[in-house]
Chains A and B, each alone.
Chain A
Amino acid sequence: MNLTQTRPAADAVAKDGRGKFPKHKLEELRGRGYVMFCVLLLIVIIFSIVYFIASRGLTPFVSQGVSVGEMLGGLKWSPEADTPRFGALPFLFGSFATSLLAAIIAAPLGICAAIFMTEMMPKVGKNILQPAIELLAGVPSVVYGFVGLSVVVPFLRDVFPGQGVGILAGGIVLSVMILPTITTVATDALRSLPAGLKEGSYALGATRWQTISRLVIPTTLPSLMTGVVLGIARAFGEALAVQMVIGNAPHIPHSLTQSAATLTSIITLSMGNTTSGSLHNNALWSLALILLIMTFLFVFVVRLLERRVKHA
């Protein structure tokens, strides 16, 4: 299939001159075939993953008598009880609460770090701060979870009522994990701002702070928000670290320091203990499907923001 597609292009090259069956023609063919093959494979992989999750995740609704309304709006999750209930609202709440809290903590930090690196001290920023923040991205999530369990949870337990586990602990751990994403995207956005804009502002007598707050941030806001949304998406999908510090009680908590659960933490806790094909196992796939749909939504939002960047 690839061969027939590449032939006309290759022929065109041949007609241009130099004739025979030159080396560059073969190269062209090989390169094109290789790229096409990789792209095709990528598409197949993506679609089979989506198909797999969807077919498993829809089984409880289609043939095992769980209603979509119960899954999305139910408050009680007791999959192994005699009359199993599959209300996933507490997990949806937990996932949104932890990711948003993480973004609220990490966004100001990340954006300020980006401003520092681009506007205030580019040299120190580029040589010290940026590698340091990028290092955070390389720390494995189990390490974050363990640090969270050993440091954050005992601290919260001493300071606030409750056991220390919960949405606050999860949000704090996640905020450190998504900091590199937000900072990197924000730094790129600030760096790509045309120098003329800033110079114009300075030429009009604006101070640095005035330039940053009235010109730089408003102009790059859609890009900065893209970073924040990407960060939220990353936090939404994080499983292991959150599972270790959030407590995993399948209930909507009354405070930030009360045991809660997220979609991912429930999946990782229970997936291995259930047999494939059982209702409990399929219900976990439904949670995975919800996660996948949420990720699509996040990607969609990022696309919208990007479009605004182009129009601006």
Chain B
Amino acid sequence: MKKSLLVLTTLALSISLAACGKNNNANNANAGASSGASSSAPASAAVSGAFSAAGSTALQPLVDQASKKFMDLNKDVTITVNGGGSGAGLSQVSEGTVQIGNSDVFAEEKLKDADADKAKELVDHQVAVVSIAAVSNKDVGVDNLTKAQLVDIFTGKVTNWKDVGGKDQKIVLVNRPASSGTRATFENFALGAKSEDLPDSITEDASGTVRKLVSETPGAIGYLALSYLDDTIQALKYEGVEPTAENVASGTYPVWAYEHMYTKGQPEGAVKAFLDYMLSDEIQNTDVKDLGYIPVSDMKVTRDVEGKVSNK
């Protein structure tokens, strides 16, 4: 009796594993041929009321919280929310493995060249705005940096805080990986140029780790989303403008980006209902603000893929 149970469990396990293997091979064949076609099953789950969202870890807390509320309201809907990073989210939604791909950047910025066709199939839903502030260790003696000064610091031209009006203290860069959405936003809108990974700089992906390193390392400078700011670190003014939700909404503080939820084609059924719920006042005015994002409806300016800002 026991033995047969064991056999059964192993069988079940191995079949599911074998299925995984098959799936991998299928993906793999796609990648090899670099064709846009996807062999995975499409979003048939949406009809039955179950779907999943994956991608950006910066957006994950918001989607997670909203999905729980949505499931409380709609008992027949099951939503699974995963992280994995913006790139993974976009890949998965375009392959059809998830129904919603969360991203910190426009799909066109990640899926380019050979993959540009994939980006065209995706429909953008901008659910919130995230703003990023340059932050420094508390003892650097500077609380405001101009764009030119930031560029000098992040390209390694200035290596001491005294050169930008602070203490005689070596500058330690705490950067994000080159593929990070946060870094892309910071480079595009605060620096206006791509920065290099310099020797002696520190690179970390997790915002919590960045905050810890900046708060403890003398002379450290980094950048964080507004929701991660606290009193262990110092948020730097940018060209004299304080990084606050009000300044972002009015368009005076330029370092911000949309949080996107992409679907493959126009959403239907439960997915559409959930995306509408994300944009409803119920989420936008409570959860979005509570978690440190800025509601899209508050924004007095808009920005397109090329980064052009215009008044609403």
Is A149 in contact with B31, judged by CB distance below 8 angstroms?
A: no
Is A163 in contact with B21, judged by CB distance below 8 angstroms?
A: no
Stretch at the interface among A52-60, A104-112, A133-141, A193-201: A52-60
Of B30, B86, B177, the contact of A248 (CB 8 Å cutoff) = B177
Q: Does A249 contact B (CB under 8 A)?
A: yes
- How many interface residues does chain B have, given as a range? 35 or more
B148-184 interface code vs A (CB 8 A; 1 in, 0 out): 0000000000000000000000001000011111000
Q: Does A300 contact B (CB under 8 A)?
A: no
Q: Does A225 contact B (CB under 8 A)?
A: no
A275–B90 alpha-carbon span in the complex (Å): 7
Q: Does B111 contact A (CB under 8 A)?
A: yes
Is A45 in contact with B21, judged by CB distance below 8 angstroms?
A: yes
Is B25 in contact with A52, judged by CB distance below 8 angstroms?
A: yes
Is A249 in contact with B179, judged by CB distance below 8 angstroms?
A: no
Interface residues of B in 86-118 (CB under 8 A from A): 86-88, 90-91, 94-95, 110-111, 114-115
Is B31 in contact with A48, judged by CB distance below 8 angstroms?
A: no
A41-B17, A149-B212, A258-B199 known; A269-B177 Cβ under 8 A: yes
Is A247 in contact with B17, judged by CB distance below 8 angstroms?
A: no
Is A272 in contact with B84, judged by CB distance below 8 angstroms?
A: yes
A51–B24 alpha-carbon span in the complex (Å): 10
B25: chain A residues at CB < 8 Å are: 48, 51-52
A249: chain B residues at CB < 8 Å are: 197-203
Q: Does A204 contact B (CB under 8 A)?
A: no
Of B24, B110, B196, B200, the contact of A275 (CB 8 Å cutoff) = B110
Q: Does B14 contact A (CB under 8 A)?
A: yes
The residue in chain B whose Cβ has the minimal distance to the Cβ of A48 is B21
Is B24 in contact with A52, judged by CB distance below 8 angstroms?
A: yes
Q: Does B281 contact A (CB under 8 A)?
A: no
A277–B84 alpha-carbon span in the complex (Å): 16
The residue in chain A whose Cβ has the minimal distance to the Cβ of B220 is A163
The residue in chain A whose Cβ has the minimal distance to the Cβ of B199 is A251
Nearest CB of chain B from residue A158's CB, rounded to whole Å: 10
Is A78 in contact with B197, judged by CB distance below 8 angstroms?
A: yes
A41-B18, A273-B177 known; A56-B31 Cβ under 8 A: yes
Nearest CB of chain A from residue B87's CB, rounded to whole Å: 4
Nearest CB of chain B from residue A6's CB, rounded to whole Å: 15
Q: Does A278 contact B (CB under 8 A)?
A: yes
Q: Does B49 contact A (CB under 8 A)?
A: no
B307: chain A residues at CB < 8 Å are: none
B13-37 interface code vs A (CB 8 A; 1 in, 0 out): 0100110010011011011101000
Nearest CB of chain A from residue B58's CB, rounded to whole Å: 11
A250–B202 alpha-carbon span in the complex (Å): 10
Nearest CB of chain B from residue A119's CB, rounded to whole Å: 42
A165-B202, A269-B205 known; A280-B179 Cβ under 8 A: yes
A255-282 interface code vs B (CB 8 A; 1 in, 0 out): 0001101000010111111111110111
Is B21 in contact with A259, judged by CB distance below 8 angstroms?
A: no
A275–B119 alpha-carbon span in the complex (Å): 11
A243: chain B residues at CB < 8 Å are: 204
Q: Does B243 contact A (CB under 8 A)?
A: no
Q: Does B216 contact A (CB under 8 A)?
A: yes
B209: chain A residues at CB < 8 Å are: 149, 244
A80-B178, A270-B179, A275-B91 known; A44-B194 Cβ under 8 A: no
Is B110 in contact with A276, judged by CB distance below 8 angstroms?
A: no
Is A278 in contact with B115, judged by CB distance below 8 angstroms?
A: yes
A170–B226 alpha-carbon span in the complex (Å): 31
Is A273 in contact with B181, judged by CB distance below 8 angstroms?
A: yes
B177: chain A residues at CB < 8 Å are: 248, 266, 269-270, 273
Interface residues of A in 223-259 (CB under 8 A from B): 243-244, 247-251, 253-254, 258-259
Is A78 in contact with B196, judged by CB distance below 8 angstroms?
A: yes
Q: Does B85 contact A (CB under 8 A)?
A: yes
Interface residues of A in 35-76 (CB under 8 A from B): 37-38, 41, 44-45, 48, 51-52, 55-56, 59, 63
Is B197 in contact with A77, judged by CB distance below 8 angstroms?
A: yes
A95–B211 alpha-carbon span in the complex (Å): 26
A78–B204 alpha-carbon span in the complex (Å): 16
Q: Does A131 contact B (CB under 8 A)?
A: no
Is B197 in contact with A251, judged by CB distance below 8 angstroms?
A: yes
Report which A residues bind B (CB closer than 8 A). Answer: 30, 34, 37-38, 41, 44-45, 48, 51-52, 55-56, 59, 63, 77-82, 149-150, 154, 157, 162-165, 243-244, 247-251, 253-254, 258-259, 261, 266, 268-278, 280-282
Report which B residues bind A (CB closer than 8 A). Answer: 7, 10, 14, 17-18, 21, 24-25, 27-28, 30-32, 34, 57, 83-88, 90-91, 94-95, 110-111, 114-115, 172, 177-181, 194, 196-205, 209, 212-213, 216-217, 220
- What are 10 inter-chain pairs, A to B, with CB distance below 8 A? A41-B17, A44-B21, A48-B25, A59-B31, A244-B204, A251-B198, A261-B203, A272-B57, A273-B87, A276-B87
